[in-house]
């Protein structure tokens, strides 16, 4: 417990040097290509698109979207599907930075603990900054800067709205979906993200205001 608190406090000011997923992919034979960029050097179009695709209530919850959790659980209990769709950006960040991939209940417990810690210690701006810098965007591709250069041959701060939407749309399946050559499913998800954009704050790249 003490170690986790110390690590969260350290990453409040220091970029994470790597993640468990990066190490796992390295063992699987993929490289690690990443480059840290401050939030102000990443296109606000991408930040808004990520929120529209992954967590439209990012600025309004404290790490857990309880309404989405209840809805997902009811759907699971009804037998109409698996327990999906309730993970917030804060929860994904906690998982990506500190934990191993998987859906077991032990990992979910640790995920809840780290989510509460980073919401308390980092705030929304730092959570978003770390998320877009460590998230997987393809085989060996981590973070917005490398993804922008790989798929569109430009820096993350130069992404236009359509490129940003396509990158955000690829997050659920970074190995199967290509923002550069979008297939039917990625295009459908892109359309859904565009539909969610009006509900995302426009005061970006500061996701929830300067004090967040």
pLDDT, one tens digit per residue, over 110-143 is 999 999 999 999 999 999 999 999 999 999 999 9
Q: What is the pLDDT of residue 206?
A: 65
DSSP string of 32-68, one letter each residue: -EE----GGGS-HHHHHHHHHHH-TTTTTSSS--HHH
Token readout for 174 is: 């970074």
Other Cβ atoms less than 10 A from the Cβ of 105: the count is 8
Q: What is the pLDDT of residue 201?
A: 82
Q: What is the pLDDT of residue 210?
A: 42
The list of the chain residues with pLDDT below 70 reads 66-85, 206-207, 209-212
Write down the domain spans for the chain. Answer: 2-199
Q: What is the pLDDT of residue 202?
A: 79
Three-point CA angle 162, 39, 100, nearest 5° = 90
Q: What's the CATH class of domain 2-199?
A: mainly alpha
Contacts of 201 (CB under 8 A, 6+ apart): 48, 51, 59, 207, 208, 209
Token readout for 87 is: 């993970």
Q: What is the pLDDT of residue 66?
A: 58
Give the C-alpha distances (Å, rounded to integers) separating 52 from 6, 42, 119: 32, 16, 20
């Amino acid at each position: 417990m003490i170690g986790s608190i110390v690590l969260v406090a350290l990453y409040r000011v220091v970029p994470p040097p790597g993640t468990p997923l990066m190490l796992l992919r390295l063992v699987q034979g993929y490289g690690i290509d990443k480059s840290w960029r401050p939030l102000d050097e990443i296109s606000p179009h991408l930040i808004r698109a990520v929120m529209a695709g992954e967590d439209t209530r990012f600025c309004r919850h404290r790490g857990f979207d309880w309404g989405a959790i209840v809805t997902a659980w009811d759907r699971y209990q009804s037998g109409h599907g698996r327990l999906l769709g309730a993970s917030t950006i804060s929860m994904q960040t906690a998982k990506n930075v500190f934990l191993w991939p998987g859906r077991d209940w032990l990992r979910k417990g640790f995920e809840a603990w780290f989510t509460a810690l980073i919401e308390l210690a980092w705030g929304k701006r730092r959570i978003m900054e770390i998320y877009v810098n460590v998230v997987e965007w393809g085989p060996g591709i981590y973070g917005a800067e490398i993804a922008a250069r790989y798929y569109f041959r430009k820096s993350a701060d130069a992404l236009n709205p359509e490129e940003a939407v396509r990158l955000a749309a690829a997050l659920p399946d970074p190995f199967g979906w290509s923002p550069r050559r979008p297939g039917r499913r990625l295009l459908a998800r892109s359309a859904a993200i565009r539909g969610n954009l009006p509900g995302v704050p426009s005061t970006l790249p500061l996701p929830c205001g300067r004090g967040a």
